[in-house]
Amino acid sequence: MNIIDLRDPKNVKTGSAIPNEIKDKTPAITPESTEPSGIKKAGAFVWEICKIVVVSLAIIVPIRMFVVQPFIVEGASMSPNFHDGEYLIVDELSYRFTEPKRGEVVIFHPPQDLKVYYIKRIIGLPGETIEIKEGKIRIYNEEHQDGIALNEVDYTLDHKLPVNEEDKVTLEPNQFYLLGDNRTNSLDSRRIGPVSFDHIKGRAWIRAFPFEQFTIFEPTIYNF
């Protein structure tokens, strides 16, 4: 039996027909579909969603745990500067690098109950002696060994200190003296004592709600 090599041009004459037995044995090639199936499409979509969720959590969770945290104000102890129901964003990162400053409003655990949070203003810094007498606050430190009256005109107080109230305490190297802005309706260092640094969660950074009262809190300026 002879075999005709059709790859050789000499064996294919112009105008000649290819024998039927050879044509019949020529395989037909059907191109495969390159369009992915519905299942593959759904799987790819789910995988993309999973990647987005994982990346989002990798970014959001550390920020939520170590950088900023939302808190809602409860009560009137910081009135008129902070009100019940306000939504605050608390900066938890700054105090890892800098010391808390006088006048900053902080969120902290009271020494007697580590499960709750209070919001108060820093009045006394570590190593200082704080004296409350005749409705005024005096600060004793290295720069003012004879004491200096604290001027709080930079923020409005809702009710001043009672004239007959007295307190005097010297703070340890890691302690702070905290007071509420509503001086006649606040459970603060006058009752619970000084607060140590490791009980402070962070500082009030942003008032996010109500929207019309959105505020980024600036440092308080004192007379010394």
Query: Residue ranges per domain, the chain?
Result: 82-216
The average confidence (pLDDT) of the chain is 81
What's 152's DSSP letter? -
Tell me the whole-structure pTM to 2 decimals.
Answer: 0.71
Q: Report the alpha-carbon angle 188-190-194, nearest 5.
A: 75
Could you tell me which residues are beta bridge partners of residue 137? Answer: 132
Give the model confidence (pLDDT) of 66-86 as tens digits: 455 789 999 999 999 999 999
Question: Cα–Cα distance between 119 and 195 in angstroms, integer?
Answer: 12
Other residues' Cβ atoms within 10 Å of the Cβ of residue 172: 12
pLDDT of residue 1: 39
For the stretch 106-153, pLDDT in tens is: 999 998 888 899 999 999 999 999 999 999 999 999 999 999 999 887
The alpha helices in 165-220, defined as continuous H runs, are 189-192
Residue 222: CB atoms within 10 A of its CB come to 15
C-alpha distances out from residue 187 to 86, 121, 126, Å: 19, 12, 20
| CATH topology for the 82-216 domain | Umud Fragment, subunit A (2.10.109)
pLDDT score of 194: 97
**Residue 70 near residue 87 (C-beta atoms within 8 A):** yes
Amino acid at 216: I
> The tokens 């704080």 sit on which residue?
130
How many Cα atoms are found within 13 Å in the side-chain-facing hemisphere of 47? 6
Sequence-ordered list of residues with C-beta below 8 angstroms from that of 32, at least 6 positions apart, any chain: none
pLDDT top residue among 64 and 44: 44
Instruction: Say which DSSP state 216 is in.
Output: E
The residue ranking higher by pLDDT, 100 or 63, is: 100
pLDDT score recorded for residue 155: 78
